[in-house]
């Protein structure tokens, strides 16, 4: 069992710069410093809360944890043909929930403070937009730039550090959406606690329902998922004119979608001002709305307002599914008689978009492990072949074949 675990460890780090001890030590040290800085921000945020606010935050965090099960389960299902290890899911989720939020909070606060200072020197802005002018102007600047970069850094780290685990657009979307879901996991309770601290009523339904719209795959999961998908496209394609601009396009789309989300209150305020409606004299409490109503309303809004971004995401997922099935069919065709039986290849040819084949209906665990190993073998062969190398000389191809034989034995 120890040798088998060591083989898995070797496969995970194949081609990774973490195999170099000096680079690994430097990377781990840097990540520890970043983690400590993020945790220090959390301690300061929690320490500044009054006991009743802290209680509301804890209750919201518990609710957010339960709600986060839904998007993680959907992403787990999407990853069914080449499922990543649970700890990689946890790493991506916690990057968004701990590191990305911890890094973004102080930078966002600094930007909003600068915008607030500018607004205070331009009273005409407050006359038009009302007492929330600084937030309306600062949110479309701070959130999209700062948060998409801090979240995107986690996806980029997985891309470079775990080279063998990042194969295509679907992998990229899953990692990005997990990071975004983690960000929502912490951000939603924070907004509930802030609403309670300001107005004395905890807006559980509004923030938890709206921020987990579309089964938790709207908002941050959609934004960072887009970036991850385009980063995966760069890994998947052999066309240089797609590979190099793809990550930039993905980040631009993520920032644009996030900016559109944050600019909506400003657009509504400007529309009211144009219609001659005076802004409120003081900040208004959030509407009293239930979780289900907020979820339904926000889900419909996301479908219509963010339709171009949702459509691009759905198209990329569809194309990634086509690529996966084609790679499996083509690369495993020459494995028939060795790591794939004739009956298994017949199943592979009939595999559909929403189906997952099973080899042994009785021993489901062994069947899942064997199917996963065959798919990993196919994707690795395709990656090596696209890189202009011989799959027969690749140690990971040899390793997956050996694991398939062990599973059969």
pLDDT in tens, 99-134: 999 999 999 999 999 999 999 999 999 999 999 999
On the question of pLDDT at 5 being above 50, the answer is no
Instruction: Tell me the mean pLDDT in the region 204-211.
Output: 96
Element holding 160 (H helix, E strand):
helix 148-161
CB 69 within 8 A of CB 215: no
What stretches of 275-340 show up as alpha helix (H) in DSSP? 291-305, 307-332
On the question of pLDDT at 4 being above 70, the answer is no
Instruction: Please state the length of the chain.
Output: 409
User: What pLDDT, in 10s, does the model give residues 142-199?
Assistant: 999 999 999 999 999 999 998 888 889 999 999 999 999 999 999 999 999 999 999 9
User: What pLDDT, in 10s, does the model give residues 58-82?
Assistant: 999 999 999 999 999 999 999 988 8
Identify the pLDDT of residue 164.
82
CB 137 within 8 A of CB 266: yes
Note every long-range contact of 303-310, with CB atoms under 8 Å and residues 24 or more positions apart, other chains counting: 303/214, 305/260, 305/264, 306/218, 306/222, 306/257, 306/260, 306/261, 309/222, 309/223, 309/226, 309/253, 309/256, 309/257, 310/222
Nearest to 332 by CA among 376, 286, 293, 386: 376
**Torsional class of 16: left (φ above 0), alpha (ψ -120 to 50), beta (otherwise):** beta
3-state class (DSSP) for residue 316? helix
CB 101 within 8 A of CB 38: yes
Identify the pLDDT of residue 9.
58
Identify the pLDDT of residue 361.
66
Residue boundaries of the structural domains of the chain: 16-324, 336-408
Phi/psi at 336 (5° precision): -60, 130
Identify the pLDDT of residue 1.
36
What stretches of 200-290 show up as alpha helix (H) in DSSP? 204-211, 220-236, 240-243, 246-274
3-state class (DSSP) for residue 131? coil
């Amino acid at each position: 069992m120890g040798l088998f675990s060591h083989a898995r460890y070797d496969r995970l780090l194949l081609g990774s710069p973490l195999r170099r001890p000096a680079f690994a030590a430097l990377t781990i040290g840097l990540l520890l410093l970043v983690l400590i800085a993020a945790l220090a921000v959390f301690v300061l945020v929690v320490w500044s809360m009054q006991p009743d606010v802290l209680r509301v935050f804890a209750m919201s965090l518990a609710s957010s944890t339960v709600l986060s099960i839904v998007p993680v389960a959907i992403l787990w299902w999407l990853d069914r043909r080449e499922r990543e290890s649970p700890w990689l899911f946890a790493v991506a989720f916690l990057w968004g929930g701990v590191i990305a939020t911890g890094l973004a909070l102080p930078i966002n606060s600094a930007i909003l403070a600068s915008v607030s200072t500018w607004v205070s020197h331009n009273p005409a802005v407050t006359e038009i937009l009302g007492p929330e002018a600084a937030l309306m102007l600062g949110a479309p600047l701070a959130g999209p730039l700062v948060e998409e970069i801090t979240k995107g850094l986690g996806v980029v780290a997985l891309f470079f550090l775990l080279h063998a685990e990042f194969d295509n657009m679907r992998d990229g979307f899953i990692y990005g959406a997990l990071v975004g879901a983690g960000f929502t996991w912490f951000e939603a309770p924070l907004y509930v606690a802030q609403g309670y601290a300001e107005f004395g009523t905890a807006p559980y339904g509004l923030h938890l329902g709206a921020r987990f719209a579309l089964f938790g795959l709207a908002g941050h999961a959609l934004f960072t998922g887009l970036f991850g998908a385009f980063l995966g496209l760069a890994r998947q394609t052999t066309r240089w004119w797609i590979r190099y601009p793809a990550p930039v396009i993905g980040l631009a789309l993520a920032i644009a979608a996030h900016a559109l989300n944050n600019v909506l209150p400003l657009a509504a305020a400007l529309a009211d001002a144009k219609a001659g409606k005076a802004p409120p004299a003081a900040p208004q409490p959030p509407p009293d709305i239930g979780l289900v109503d907020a979820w339904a309303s926000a889900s419909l809004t996301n479908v219509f307002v963010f339709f171009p971004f949702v459509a691009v995401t759905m198209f990329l997922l569809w194309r990634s599914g086509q690529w996966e099935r084609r790679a499996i069919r083509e690369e495993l065709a020459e494995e028939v008689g060795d790591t794939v039986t004739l009956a298994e290849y017949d199943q592979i040819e009939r595999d559909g978009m929403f189906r997952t084949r099973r080899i042994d209906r009785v021993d489901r665990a062994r069947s899942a492990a064997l199917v996963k190993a065959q798919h990993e073998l196919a994707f690795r062969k395709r990656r090596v072949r696209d890189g202009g190398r011989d799959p027969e000389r690749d140690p990971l191809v040899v390793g997956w074949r050996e694991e398939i034989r062990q599973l059969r034995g």
